[in-house]
Amino acid sequence: MKTLITIITILSLHFAFGQSTYEKGMTQAFELWQEKKTDDAANLFERIARAEKENWIPFYYAAQVHITASFNSKDAKEIESRLIKAQDLVNEAKTFSDTNAEVLILEAMLNTAYVVYNPSVYGMTHSPKVDKLYLQAKQLEPENPRAILYHAEWQMGAAKFWGKDPKAFCPEVEKAILYFEKESSDVPFYPQWGMNQIERIQANCKS
């Protein structure tokens, strides 16, 4: 009996220890990101992903860091190489989790980044992909607030372009708010971002 307890203790200690390295690493990466040390953050997420194996979450964040950074850059070469890198990371995340709404949402943002960066080259080819990815994500998780919110934002943009009322998608935003409040996950670092963007997107619903 004693031996058993010892083994269990050692194992759980070991597990806890392992867990905490992951958590420590991830927390540190988020801190770096917050400190705007973009490349350090992306590198750390990628290192964690490579060490963890079979975990899509660190790949997901590594890709997200590059995508977000591309939105803030004006250097064509930097944007393109970041987006290529992000696509590689998204593909790796997909190999561990191929029917994952969160990864699809991220991929939709990646394609949005291409369209924003160079509409004349990528508009025609990448816009349909954005729509398709959001639709797929919503099919997998009808209550995913990020899929609903960001698809609504994308559609509002299209509606504005066509001279239609973007307010048509405001009920979607309301729905997203509801689902954000309900959202919870047991998986550490499971994507939960996006709520702070509601105010910006809801600006379309005023006036």
Partner 1 sequence: MKIITTIILFFSLNAVISQTSVSGIVTDESNTPIPGANVYLDGTYDGGSTDLNGKFEFNTSETGAQTLIVSFLSFESYMLTKDVKDLSGVTIKLKEDINSLGSVILNAGTFSAGDNSEAAVLTPLDIVTTAGAAGDYIGAFQTLPGTSTVAEDGRLFVRGGDANETNIYIDGLQVFQPFSPSANNLPTRGRFSPFLFKGTNFSTGGYSAEYGNALSSVLLLNTIDEPEEEKTELQFINVGLGGGNTQKWGKNSFSFNAFYLNLKPYQNIVDQRVDWINPYESISGESVYRHQFDNGLLKVYGGFTYSDFELNQKDINVPQGINFYLKNRNLYLNSSYQGDLGNDWSIISGVSFANDNNAIAIDNMDVDSADNSFHLKLKFRKRYSNRFKINYGVEQYLTNYQEAASSPDFETFESDYTSNTTAVFTEANIFLSKKFAFQTGIRGSYNSLIQDYKVSPRVSLAYKISENSQLSLAYGDFYQLPGQSVLKYETELEQEKSSHYIANYLYQKNGRMFRAETYYKTYEDLIKYSTEMPQFDSQFNNNGEGFAAGLDLFWRDNRSINNLEYWVTYSYLNTERDYQNFEGKATPNFAAAHNLSVVGKYFKEEWKSMISATYNFASGRPYDNPNSSGFLAEKTKSFNSLNLSWAYLISPQKILYVSASNVLGADNIFNYQYSNTPDVDGQFARTAIRQPADRFFIVGFFWTISDNKNDNQLDNL
What tokens appear for 108 in the block?
Answer: 């939709």
Q: Residue 169 in contact with residue 156, Cβ under 8 Å?
A: yes
The contact mask relative to partner 1 for 137-156 (x = CB under 8 A, - = no) is: --------------------
> CB under 8 A: which stretch of 90-98, 129-137, 140-148, 180-188 binds partner 1?
129-137
Is there binding between residue 43 and partner 1 (CB under 8 A)?
yes
Return d(Cα 75, Cα 207) in angstroms, integer.
36
Q: Residue 43 in contact with residue 34, Cβ under 8 Å?
A: no
Of the candidates 8, 11, 16, 76, which one interacts with partner 1 according to CB under 8 A?
76
What tokens appear for 32 in the block?
Answer: 């770096």
Is there binding between residue 131 and partner 1 (CB under 8 A)?
yes
Give every CB contact of residue 158 below 8 A, 6+ residues apart in sequence.
none
Q: What is the dihedral sign for C-alpha 180, 181, 187, 192?
A: positive
Is there binding between residue 94 and partner 1 (CB under 8 A)?
no
> CB under 8 A: which stretch of 47-55, 141-149, 169-177, 192-200 binds partner 1?
47-55
- Tell me whether residue 127 or residue 195 sits nearer to partner 1 (CB atom): 127
Is there binding between residue 158 and partner 1 (CB under 8 A)?
yes
Return d(Cα 2, Cα 128) in angstroms, integer.
63
Is there binding between residue 97 and partner 1 (CB under 8 A)?
no
Return d(Cα 206, Cα 179) in angstroms, integer.
21
List interacting residues with partner 1 (CB under 8 A): 2, 6, 10, 21, 25, 39-40, 43-44, 46-48, 50-51, 76-77, 80-82, 84-85, 118, 120-122, 124-125, 127-129, 131-132, 135, 158, 161-163
